[in-house]
């Protein structure tokens, strides 16, 4: 099927979203709650675009990360109205998270140097994009959730501080776009969500890899022994390239 984005006719597959088609064709659309490998969520609304069906009918503002493509859609990604919406959203986010670099950068790109709203008294870096919660669910740990509503919402552990379901994989901290989740790795020790985990040594080079709890969790989900997950990324890559060379007889 064909969709028209910013005056260009582009080929698209039915299972794609407008955001995916735009990205594949080098058309930039800012996003904050979208993350490769996770289901779209539609929370930040920064990816909004203007859309009409067949060039007629009302112009609708839709989040491009949720909007499936349809034949004959006409889309504009950077109209004055869309830029205004994004600027207001970023202005609000800047009041919530004045110290988050990603928000500062995006706000500046949209002409917002400082927030025109009353800044939060207790600012943190969390923009409630929900990426950490979805990443944790994708890992299968389901240790995180949200508490409170609206501007008072926050990411939290069950009952406020029960980190018992956390396996210390770090998916939440590593995927957070604003660095709001504190994780420290010191030698073989990892601290996150108030817990201390021990990271297993890579059987080949001895470098600390995933936590004992993460290896056990992966073993439980896959039915494979926990030791199969022990190699660090560098050794895994080396093993894979050795295997490839063996296979091609070099
Ligand atoms: S902690 Fe980070 S990933 Fe989680 S909701 Fe907040 S900004 Fe998003
Ligand atoms: S990226 Fe589409 S709503 Fe956040």
Same domain, yes or no, for 233 and 156?
yes
Give the domain extent around 146.
Answer: 131-246
Same domain, yes or no, for 154 and 240?
yes
Within-domain flag for 181: yes
Last residue within a domain, chosen from 37, 54, 78: 78
46 CA from centroid of ligand 2 (Å): 6
**CATH value at residue 32:** 3.10.20.740
Question: In what helix (H) or strand (E) does residue 51 lie, and over which residues does it extend?
Answer: strand 48-53
> How much is the pTM?
0.90
* Ligand 1 in reach of 32 Cβ (< 6 A): no
Within-domain flag for 120: no
Q: Please tell me the predicted confidence (pLDDT) of residue 233.
A: 84
Same domain, yes or no, for 219 and 137?
yes
Residue 223, C-beta contacts closer than 8 angstroms, at least 6 positions apart: none
Within-domain flag for 67: yes
Same domain, yes or no, for 73 and 177?
no
17 bridge partner residues: 68
Give CA 161 to chain center in angstroms: 23
Q: Atom of ligand 2 at shortest distance to CA of 33?
A: 4
For ligand 1, atom 3, the nearest C-alpha belongs to 176
Within-domain flag for 96: no
Of 176, 177, 179, which is best to mutate to test ligand 1, by the most ligand atoms within 8 angstroms of its C-beta?
Answer: 176
Q: Please tell me the predicted confidence (pLDDT) of residue 184.
A: 97
How many CA atoms lie less than 13 Å away from 19 in the CB half-sphere?
Answer: 22
Of 38, 43, 132, 137, which is best to mutate to test ligand 1, by the most ligand atoms within 8 angstroms of its C-beta?
Answer: 132
Within-domain flag for 85: no
Question: In what helix (H) or strand (E) does residue 116 lie, and over which residues does it extend?
Answer: none
Name the band, by pLDDT with cuts 50, 70 and 90, for residue 250. Answer: low
Residue 29's CB: how many other CB atoms inside 10 A? 22
Ligand closest to 65 (CA) is: 2
Residues 167-225: tens digit of each pLDDT? 999 999 999 999 999 999 999 999 999 999 999 999 889 999 999 999 999 999 999 98
The domain tally of the chain equals 2
95 CA from centroid of ligand 1 (Å): 16
Within-domain flag for 86: no
Residues 74-115: tens digit of each pLDDT? 999 999 999 999 999 999 999 999 999 999 999 999 999 999
Residue 217's CB: how many other CB atoms inside 10 A? 21
d(CA 103, CA 33): 12
* Ligand 1 in reach of 97 Cβ (< 6 A): no
Residues 13-32: tens digit of each pLDDT? 999 999 999 999 999 999 99
Within-domain flag for 224: yes
């Amino acid at each position: 099927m064909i969709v028209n984005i910013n005056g260009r006719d582009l080929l698209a597959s039915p299972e794609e979203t407008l955001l995916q088609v735009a990205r594949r064709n080098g058309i930039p659309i800012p996003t904050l709650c979208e993350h490769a490998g996770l289901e779209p969520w539609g929370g930040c609304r920064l990816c909004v675009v203007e859309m009409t069906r067949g060039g007629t009918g009302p112009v609708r503002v839709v989040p491009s990360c949720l909007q499936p493509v349809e034949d004959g859609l006409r889309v504009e990604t950077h109209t004055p109205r869309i830029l205004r919406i994004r600027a207001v959203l970023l202005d609000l986010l800047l009041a919530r998270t004045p110290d988050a670099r990603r928000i500062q950068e995006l706000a500046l790109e949209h002409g917002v140097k400082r927030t025109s709203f009353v800044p939060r008294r207790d600012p943190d870096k969390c923009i409630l994009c929900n990426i950490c919660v979805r990443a944790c669910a994708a890992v299968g740990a389901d240790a995180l959730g949200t508490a409170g509503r609206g501007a008072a919402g926050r990411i939290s552990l069950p009952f406020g501080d029960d980190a018992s379901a956390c396996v210390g994989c770090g998916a939440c901290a590593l995927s957070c776009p604003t660095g709001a989740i504190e994780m420290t790795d010191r030698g073989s020790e990892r601290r996150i969500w108030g817990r201390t985990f021990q990271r297993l040594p890579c059987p080949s080079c001895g470098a600390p890899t995933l936590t004992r709890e993460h290896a056990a969790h992966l073993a439980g989900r896959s039915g494979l022994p926990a030791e199969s997950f022990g190699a660090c990324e560098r050794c895994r890559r080396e093993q894979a390239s050795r295997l490839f060379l063996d296979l091609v007889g070099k």
